[in-house]
Amino acid sequence: MTECRRLIVPLCWFSLLLAATLGMGQLEGLFRVIEPGSRQVIYERADFLSLLGRHLSVVGAAAVLAILIGVGAAIAVTRPRGRDFLPLVSQLASMGQTFPPVAVLALAVPVLGFGTLPIIVALLLYGLLPIVRNTLVGILGIDPSVREAARGMGMSSGQILRQVELPLAAPVILAGIRTSVTINIATAAIGATVGASNLGDPIISGIVNGNTAYVIQGALLIGLLALSVDSLFSRLPSPIVR
Amino acid sequence: MPFDRPRYNVVLLSLSLVGLLVWLALDTVSVAPNRIVPGTSHGLAESLGWGGVLVSALPLLALAALARRPTPKSLRIALGLVVVQLATLPLWLSLAAHRLVDPGAVGARLGIGAGVWLLLFLLLMLLVELRSRLAISRLAGAALLVMPLAVLGWCLTQWLAPLALWQEYLGRRDQFLGAIFEHLALVGVAVGVSLVLGVAAALAMRRWQAAQRIGFGVLNFLQTIPSIALFGLLLAPLAWLSAHVEWLAALGVSGIGWAPALLALVGYSLLPMVRNTFVALEAVDPGVIDAARGMGMSRGQVFRQVRLPLALPVILEGVRITTVQAIGLTAVAALIGAGGLGTFIFQGLGQAAMDLVLLGALPILVLALVADALLGALTDTLRPGGAE
C-alpha cells in the first residue's frame, strides 16, 4: 500500500505529460492567444507522441549505456587489480564535468555524422561523468571497518561487492544517475540542431520561424518529462533498511 | 599497500601501448583539394614515411619501457617524454603536409585524423596521470604545456598553412576574436549579475523561511526548462517590450541578441549561486559565531569579519560552477543571435563544415577548462589555512 502511495506523485506527472502530449491539439485556442499572427499555432511536422518516444529512447539508450559503463568502470578501478587507474579515472570524471554539452555534441558530429548516433554518444559521454564520480564517492566513502567485518564473516570479494558495497553506495549512485538523466533530458533537445528529431524539434523550429507557440509546446513537454523522471527518482525505494 | 602489487605502472604501460596502437593503426591526416570535397584519408606510413613512423613511435615505446620500473626519476623522464611527444605532434603534421599537399594546389586542406586526436587525448591523460603521481602543482602542470603550444604556434605560421582548422581561423580572424570577446562578456556579465542577485537572495532566504521555500522552488523549476527552450521563450516577451518601451529599445534590447541570452544565463546561474552561498553561510560553525559574539563583535562585524570570510571558499565554488556552466550555455545562445563562439558551431553544422564546428567547440572547451582551473586555484588560495 505504501509502495503505491509512493508512486502517486510521479504517476500524476506522467499522466499530465501524456495528457499534454496527446491533447496538445485541444489547446489550439490558448496558443492562438499567445501567437495571434501565425497561420499555424500547433507544431504539426511530426506528432508529439512520436517525438516524445524518440526523445525518451535516445535519453534511455544513453542512460542505460552510461550506467553500465560508468558503474562498471567505477567498480573496476576500486578493485585491487584496477586500483592503479583510480587517480586517473577520478580526475577525468571531475575534469569532464567542465566540458560543455554543446561542445561535446559538436565534437561528436564530425566523427559520427548527423543523426541520432552522435546524440546518443554525446549524451552517453556527458552522462557518464556524474555516474562515475558518484559511484566512486559512494564506494570509497564506505567505512573500511565495514568491509573488514564482511571479510571477517568469510564473505568473498564478489559477495562483499554485491551484498555490502553496492547496497551501501546505492543512494549516492542513484543520485548520480538522477543528475545524469535529468541533465540529458534537457541536453537532448540541443540534438535537434544536428538532425536528430525529438522534442527539441518544435523549439528549434519555433526559434527559426519566430513562433513562440512551438517553443512553448516543446519546452512544456520537455519540462514535464524532466519533472516526471525526477520525481520518479526521488521516490525510488531506498535499498537500505536502517 | 604498494608492496603486494606488481612493480610496473599499469596505467603508464596501457596508455602508452594504446597510444602506440591508435597512432599506428588509425588515419593520421586527410587531404582535400578544397573546402567542399570530402578528403582522402592517409595512414601513418603514407603521411610520414617509414623513417617518420619509426622515429615517432620511439617515445611511446620508451614510455612503455619506463613503466616497468616506476621510480620517481623514471616517472620524471616519462613526463619529459610525454611533453616532447606532445610538442612533436605539430611537427609530424607539418611533415605530412609537406609530403602530401601539393604546394601548387591553392585551397588544398589538411584535416587532422582520428589517430592524431586520440593520441593527443591519451597524451593529455598521461600528463594528468604523471602529474598526480609526481605531485606536481597545477601551475607547474600548466607550464609544461607552454613548450608544445609554442611549437604548435611556430608550425602554424611556418608550415601548417594548409591545415583546415587554421584556414577556417584565417578566414574569420576578426570575427573569431570578436566572438571570444562576446562570449566572455556574456559569461562575465551573467556571472557578475547572478553573484550579486544570488548573494542578496541567499541573505533574504536566511532571514525569511518562506522566501527560502519559494525561492528554491522557483529556481529548481527554472532548471528543468531546457536551456534552448528558455532562450526561445524569452524571444516574444522581449520583442514585445522593446516595441512598447522606448528606453529599452534605445538600450538595444530586442527579441533576439544579447538581452534574452543574458536573462536566460542569469536565470540558470542563480540556482548554483544561491545554493552555494546559502549553504556556505549556513555551514559556518555556530561555535565560531558564538566566540566572535563573546568577543564583543556586533552582528555586522560577525557577518563581515567571521561568517563571510569563512563562507568565501564555498561561495567561490558556486562562482566556479556557474562560470563553467555559463560558458557552455552561451554556446547555445548563439541560436538566438547572441553571438559568441557558438555562432561557429551552428554555422558549421548548417554548412556541414566540420572544421568550422571545431573552431567553435575547441575554444569553448579550452575556455571552460581554463576558467575551471583558475577559479579552482583561487578557491584553494582563499581557503582558511590554504596556500597564501
Instruction: Answer yes or no: do B46 and B155 share one domain.
Output: yes
Cβ-contact B331, B340 below 8 angstroms: yes
Which segments of chain B have a pLDDT < 70?
Answer: 1-7, 36, 104-105, 252-256, 384-388
Q: How far is CA B331 from the centre of its chain?
A: 12
Is residue B388 a part of any domain in this protein?
no
Q: Within a domain: residue B74? A: yes
In a domain, B387, yes or no: no
Tell me whether residue B315 is in a domain.
yes
Give the model's pLDDT for residue B292. Answer: 87
Same domain, B110 and B231: no
DSSP, collapsed to helix, strand or coil, labels residue A46 as coil
Q: pLDDT tens across A119-158, in order? A: 888 888 888 888 998 898 888 888 888 888 888 888 888 8
The confidence score (pLDDT) of residue A205 equals 83
C-alpha distances out from residue B83 to A52, B20, B129, B143, B149, Å:
48, 16, 13, 11, 10
What is the 8-class DSSP label of residue B38? P
Last residue of a domain, one of B111, B136, B164: B164
CB contact under 8 A, A100 and B329: yes
**Mean pLDDT taken over chain B:** 81
Amino acid at A230: D
Residues B94, B217, single domain; the answer is: no
Rg of chain B over all Cα atoms, to the nearest angstrom = 26
Chain B stretch 56-115, residues whose beta carbon is closer than 8 A to a beta carbon of chain A: 114
B126 plus B67 within the same structural domain: yes
Residues of chain B in contact with residue A78, where contact means CB-CB under 8 angstroms, are: none
Q: By C-alpha distance, which of B88, B74, B81, B79 is closest to B136?
A: B79
> Could you tell me if residue B124 is inside a domain?
yes
Cα separation, A110 vs B352, whole angstroms: 9
Q: Which of B233, B349, B372 is nearest residue A193 as measured by Cβ atoms?
A: B349
Instruction: Examine the fold and report which residue of B145, B164, B183 is the final residue of a domain before the chain moves on.
Output: B164
Q: From B134, B164, B194, give the residue that closes a domain.
A: B164
pLDDT in tens, A194-233: 777 888 888 888 877 777 788 888 888 888 888 888 888 8
Answer yes or no: do B21 and B62 share one domain: yes
* Residues B178, B58 share a domain: no
Same-domain status, B159 and B177: no
List chain B residues with CB under 8 Å of A189.
Answer: 226, 228-229
Question: Pick the residue with more confidence: A37 or B288?
Answer: B288
For residue B190, the model assigns a pLDDT of 92
Task: Provide the CA B340 distance to its chain's centre, in angstroms.
Answer: 15
Cross-chain Cβ contact B349/A186 below 8 Å: no
Q: What integer pLDDT is reported at residue A238 of this predicted model? A: 56
* B228 CB within 8 Å of a chain A CB: yes
Q: Is B136 on the interface with A (CB under 8 A)?
A: no
Interface test with A, best of B122, B224, B230 (most A CBs within 10 A): B224
Average pLDDT over residues A93-120: 77
The number of domains in chain B is 2
Evaluate whether residue B35 is within a structural domain: yes
- C-alpha B236/C-alpha A177 separation (Å) is 35
Of A90, A116, A193, A150, the closest CA to residue B343 belongs to A193
State the residue range of the domain holding B52: 2-164
Residues B180 and B144 in one domain: no
Q: Residue A49: is its pLDDT beyond 90?
A: no
Domains of chain A (ranges; CATH) run 2-234 (1.10.3720.10)
Do B323 and B234 lie in one domain? The reply is yes
Domain CATH code at residue B374? 1.10.3720.10
- Same domain (yes/no): B91, B47: yes
What string of DSSP letters covers B322-366?
HHHHHHHHHHHHGGGT--STHHHHHHHHHHT-HHHHHHHHHHHHH
Nearest-Cα residue of chain B relative to residue A229: B224
Residues B349, A207: C-beta atoms closer than 8 Å: no
Q: Is residue B377 part of a domain?
A: yes
| pLDDT tens digits, A66-83 | 999 999 999 888 888 778
**Does residue B198 share a domain with residue B117?**
no
Do B117 and B207 lie in a common domain? no
